Amino acid sequence: MKKHDPKRPKVDIRRRAEERLKELEPGAPVPPEDTARLLHELQVHQIELELQNEELREAQARAEEVLEKYIDLYDFAPLGYFTVDEEGIVREANLTGAQLAGAERSRLIGRPLLIWLTKESIPAFTRLLDAMKGRDSVTYCDIVLTNESRHVHLTGTETSTTAVGKRHFRLAMTDITELKQAEERSQLYCDDLARSNKDLEQFAYLASHDLQEPLRMVTGFVDMLQKNYSQIFDAEAAELFNYITDGAKRMQALISDLLAFSHIGRDSKLDDDVDLNQVLHDVLRSMNRQLDEVNAKVHCQRLPAVKGKPALLAQVFLNILNNAIKFRAKEKNSLEISVTAAEESDGWKISIRDNGIGFPSRSAERIFDIFQRLHPQTQYGGTGIGLAICRRIIELHGGRIWAESEPGRGSIFHFTLPAQNL
């Protein structure tokens, strides 16, 4: 289709015809060639007008189609859109916004938006308007609507200025009700969990403490019986007394470890400057006799300084080194232990490697659970709490602990301390 050229000069047929008539004598006939030419130009002009009208109709149809799509996108957008003036009067709103407010769109137009806000949300909305009028870059707030107490997030931007100088603002409203409810449920769960953990810690502390006294009485009376009446009892009775004594000692060790486990984190401030080199040195010095007895050699790299509790971090080294001694490979000439540190993107990783008997890799997580043992009590002593204490201490410092091992190939215990503790 031939397009109309808007730059082509328009032909004023009537004006040209009148000028031509003035040149003729009154009553003189119009020459046929002029009549034909004017008629031709008139026909061309008529066709041009028809083409223009056709193009205008097509452009109007396209514009109406685009407008319809825009209206659909605007009205059924996942966000509520409001146009308000400087007084907060609603000048325009989409259907989503009307649904969030719980009102017909016609009822919103011309009324203050704060009518549909809870009383507690009005100050926040007023501050948002003031921020937009002041062209503040931070123009958002969270408010609550009266409609079903919906929580919404508002973001505001200036859109236009009217002919009389009034500024209009566009508000984008996002429904965050489900998010708020999830946050509240999560907070309630966290509060319940914290309260439950506190109760359990208190119970474990009191139970462990209160169990110490009757246990001491049992072991005390057994000792008295063995000392004062040993000549009366035969060998079988003496063996039974030994069983009682051994059981009581194991129970006492278990209670002591449980008491220590429950006490971790109670009133602990982790803001001391801790030199891990000094901590490890003190631990090795206290274990010097045990290490000598098993011909252990400990190789240490330079360790970092951190923020934490020296006594707790010392307990981690102590428990892991005691495990290395306990689960050493007795057929080997010496126990080899190495302690290294590696700086990572988010902190430090401390690794303690030994050449002991190792354990199946499938048990690498289980060994850190309380009271979990991989060997019978008769084969290796202990209460099964030592590594659980290590995990609790490291997690209290904001790190994590894990182990790698295979039977007969030794073990490596890793624990991390976050960068902010450096």
More confident residue, 129 or 13: 129
**Highest mean pLDDT (candidates 11-15, 18-22, 240-244, 348-352):** 348-352
| Terminal alpha carbon distance of the chain | 77
Q: In the predicted model, what is the mean pLDDT of residues 224-251? A: 78
pLDDT at 176: 93
Please check whether residue 121 is in contact with residue 144, taking contact to mean a CB–CB distance below 8 angstroms: yes
Q: In the predicted model, what is the mean pLDDT of residues 41-66? A: 81
Q: Where are the domains of the chain?
A: 13-75, 80-175, 184-263, 272-421
- Residues near 141 by Cβ (< 8 Å), separated by ≥ 6? 124, 125, 127, 128, 153, 154
Q: In the predicted model, what is the mean pLDDT of residues 127-145? A: 82
Please check whether residue 152 is in contact with residue 176, taking contact to mean a CB–CB distance below 8 angstroms: yes
pLDDT at 24: 60
| pLDDT of 118 strictly over 50 | yes
pLDDT at 229: 78
Q: In the predicted model, what is the mean pLDDT of residues 263-284? A: 81
**Highest mean pLDDT (candidates 212-216, 270-274, 299-303):** 299-303
Query: Mean pLDDT, the chain, as a whole number?
Result: 81
- According to DSSP, the β-strands at 401-405 and 411-418 are antiparallel
- Residues near 349 by Cβ (< 8 Å), separated by ≥ 6? 341, 342, 343, 414, 415, 416
pLDDT at 163: 58
Half-sphere exposure (CA, 13 Å, Cβ side) for 167?
14
* Strand, coil or helix: 60: helix
The domain 184-263 is classified under which CATH number: 1.10.3470, 3.30.1890, 3.40.1710, 1.10.287?
1.10.287
* Both structure tokens of 364: 């690498």
pLDDT at 175: 93
Q: How confident is the model at residue 224 (pLDDT cuts 50, 70, 90)?
A: confident
| pLDDT of 7 strictly over 70 | no
Q: Domain 272-421 is of which CATH architecture?
A: 2-Layer Sandwich (3.30)
- Residues near 335 by Cβ (< 8 Å), separated by ≥ 6? 291, 294, 295, 296, 297, 324, 325, 328, 329, 354, 355, 356
| pLDDT of 8 strictly over 50 | no
pLDDT at 403: 92
pLDDT at 278: 93
Bridge partners, residue 350, by sequence: 341, 415
Question: Beta-carbon neighbour count of residue 136 at 10 Å?
Answer: 12
Provide the CATH topology of domain 80-175.
Answer: Beta-Lactamase (3.30.450)
Q: How confident is the model at residue 29 (pLDDT cuts 50, 70, 90)?
A: low
Please check whether residue 50 is in contact with residue 2, taking contact to mean a CB–CB distance below 8 angstroms: no
Q: What is the C-alpha separation between 422 and 418, in angstroms, rounded? A: 7
- According to DSSP, the β-strands at 90-93 and 80-85 are antiparallel
Q: In the predicted model, what is the mean pLDDT of residues 129-150? A: 83
pTM of the model: 0.50
> Which pLDDT tens digit goes with each residue over 387-402?
888 998 899 888 999 9
| pLDDT of 23 strictly over 70 | no
**Highest mean pLDDT (candidates 21-25, 133-137, 284-288):** 284-288
Q: What is the C-alpha separation between 297 and 320, in angstroms, rounded? A: 15
**Highest mean pLDDT (candidates 2-11, 49-58, 162-171):** 49-58
> Which pLDDT tens digit goes with each residue over 86-101?
899 999 999 999 999 9
pLDDT cut 70: percent of the chain above it: 80
Q: How confident is the model at residue 137 (pLDDT cuts 50, 70, 90)?
A: low
Q: How confident is the model at residue 9 (pLDDT cuts 50, 70, 90)?
A: very low
* Strand, coil or helix: 317: helix
pLDDT at 271: 74
Q: In the predicted model, what is the mean pLDDT of residues 334-343? A: 92
pLDDT at 2: 46
Which secondary structure element, helix H or strand E, spans residue 180, and what is its range? helix 177-229
pLDDT at 421: 43
Place of tokens 């008539």: 21
